[in-house]
Amino acid sequence: MSARIDAFVVAVPGLEPLVLGEVQKLGVRPARPVRGGVECTVTWPQLWAINLRSRSATRVVVRVARFKADGFHSFQKGLAAIPWSEWLAPNAGVQVSVTSDKESKLYHTGAVEERAMETLARPLGEQVVLIRILHDIVTISLDASGAPLHHRGWRGPAGKAPLRESLGAALVTASEWDAKTPLVDPFCGSGTIAIEAALIARRMAPGRNRSFAFQQWPTFEDDAWARVLRGADGDVVEKCPPIIASDRDAGAIAATIENAARAGVGDNIETAVRAVSDLVLPPRAGWIVCNPPYGQRVGGDDIRNLYDRFGAVLREKAVGWNVAVLGSSDTPVARLHLPLRPALSTTNGGIEVVLHTGPVPPAP
């Protein structure tokens, strides 16, 4: 159990600092952010805990070997020299995922994949062996997560353009919500932001209701895993500030209610079918965190009208609140007429997006 493993915690570009914070909070040292993730050295229980508890990461992979290969012979020799029985269960099936640069002799990824499967001599299966070749240096890693970490196990109905759960959590963290005062999402769709906020406030581990690839590895130990789970469960609190999710679409609210129940936070989220122009806020000021439509047209309305109306409602009803709005380059955030600044830049479904945050000041 005291082995130290080189791990890479994969993150969507832009979310690396948040993932670094999450990894450090679990006591992982050293940890270094690079583009696309965080490099770190971990014990096995730390690797499991990152999978269980990271809210913003995509997946975790572990480095198995690194060697030089300038042809298929040296590639297959290097791959065969890896003590696979220490990494994979005797009957585990594998699949390989190869990336290579044009500078390397082994640039034909299809041919590398074929030789790798031949050398590994295992049936096709779920354990993913990642092969990366850069300037003839081959890095072999194993995917410890399995399904991506945003698959928490709670999503049923998806609604229109749902956010990835890891991005929903990242927005709440980047909004700097204090998890003590109310959080409102008036464009809640399937409820991702509100559900991730409730999981954060109640300190519930996002991966508690799913399984991971590492559970099939020979290094997995039931007792040590039970301790990691107990540690996570011991942190859970019942107390949760008001979290309010509304949307003008009744189907979206039905999806939010079902998803919140599946995530175990059904009692922590208040829902309402309501257009943003009828926004209702609790008396105590808190945070409005949302992902309004980005498109040019929204159900027949012009997106500019929507932002004009949203801005007017905020300036009328939300003085003293903090606002965090996710938008794309097409989103007319300036029409809110609020002193917002970019707090996070990342991508959502291939679109570049920015979270704009700031206070709603009193009228001059």
Ligand X SMILES: C[S@@+](CC[C@H](N)C(=O)[O-])C[C@H]1O[C@@H](n2cnc3c(N)ncnc32)[C@H](O)[C@@H]1O
Give dist(CA 65, CA 44) in Å, integer: 17
x-marked contacts with ligand X along 180-209 as a string, rule CB under 6 A:
------xx-xx-xx----------------
Nearer Cβ to ligand X (66/317): 317
* Distance in Å, CB of 165 to ligand X, minimum: 8
Out of 5, 224, 298, 312, name the contact with ligand X by CB under 6 A: 298
List, in order, residues 6 or more apart from 147 with CB less than 8 Å away. Answer: 210
- What's the closest the beta carbon of residue 198 comes to ligand X, in angstroms? 14
Give the number of other CB atoms < 10 A from CB of residue 45. 16
CB closer to ligand X, 190 vs 271: 190
Residue of minimal CB distance from ligand X? 189
**Least separation in angstroms between CB 357 and ligand X:** 16
| CB nearer to ligand X: pick between 65 and 261 | 261
Between the two ends of the chain, the Cα-to-Cα distance in Å is 61
Name which of 261 and 298 has its Cβ closer to ligand X: 298
Q: Which is nearer to ligand X, 31 or 325 (CB)?
A: 325
CB of 359 to ligand X, least distance (A): 22
For residue 358, CA distances in Å to 24, 123, 158, 336, 341 come to: 27, 54, 29, 11, 6
User: Within 236-275, which residues bind ligand X (CB under 6 A)?
Assistant: 247-249, 252, 275
**Coil, strand or helix: which one is 317?**
helix
State how far the Cα of 339 lies from the Cα of 341, in Å rounded to an integer: 7
Q: Which is nearer to ligand X, 143 or 185 (CB)?
A: 185
In the complex, minimum distance from the CB of residue 305 to ligand X, in angstroms, rounded to a whole number: 9
Q: Contact region for ligand X (CB under 6 A) — 57-65, 78-86, 161-169, 345-353?
A: 161-169
291 binds ligand X per the rule CB under 6 A: yes
Residue type, 238: E
* Closest distance to ligand X from the beta carbon of 241 (Å): 20
For residue 337, count other CB atoms closer than 10 A to its CB.
13
Q: In the complex with ligand X, which residue's Cβ is closer, 56 or 190?
A: 190
Closest CB to ligand X among residues 113, 249: 249
Give yes or no for residue 160 binding ligand X (CB under 6 A). Answer: yes
CB of 360 to ligand X, least distance (A): 18
Residues in the chain: 364
Signed CA dihedral, 188, 193, 196, 202: sign only:
negative
Give dist(CA 174, CA 142) in Å, integer: 30
Instruction: Please give the backbone phi and psi of residue 317, each rounded to the nearest 5 degrees, phi first.
Output: -110, -15
Site for ligand X in 100-159 (CB under 6 A): 159
The reply on whether position 293 binds ligand X by CB under 6 A is yes
Q: 127-134 and 94-100 as β-strands: parallel, antiparallel, unpaired?
A: parallel
Nearer to ligand X (CB atom), residue 137 or residue 158? 158
275: which residues sit within 8 A by CB, 6+ positions away? Answer: 248
Euclidean distance between CA atoms 31 and 17, whole angstroms: 11
User: Does 306 interact with ligand X (rule: CB under 6 A)?
Assistant: yes
| Part of the chain binding ligand X (CB under 6 A), chosen from 16-24, 36-44, 50-58, 290-298 | 290-298
CB of 151 to ligand X, least distance (A): 14
**Backbone dihedral region for residue 225 (phi beyond 0: left; psi -120 to 50: alpha; all else: beta):** alpha
Q: How many binding residues for ligand X (CB under 6 A)?
A: 22
Torsion of CA 199, 205, 208, 211, to 10 degrees: 120
Positions touching ligand X (CB under 6 A) are: 159-163, 186-187, 189-190, 192-193, 247-249, 252, 275-276, 291-293, 298, 306
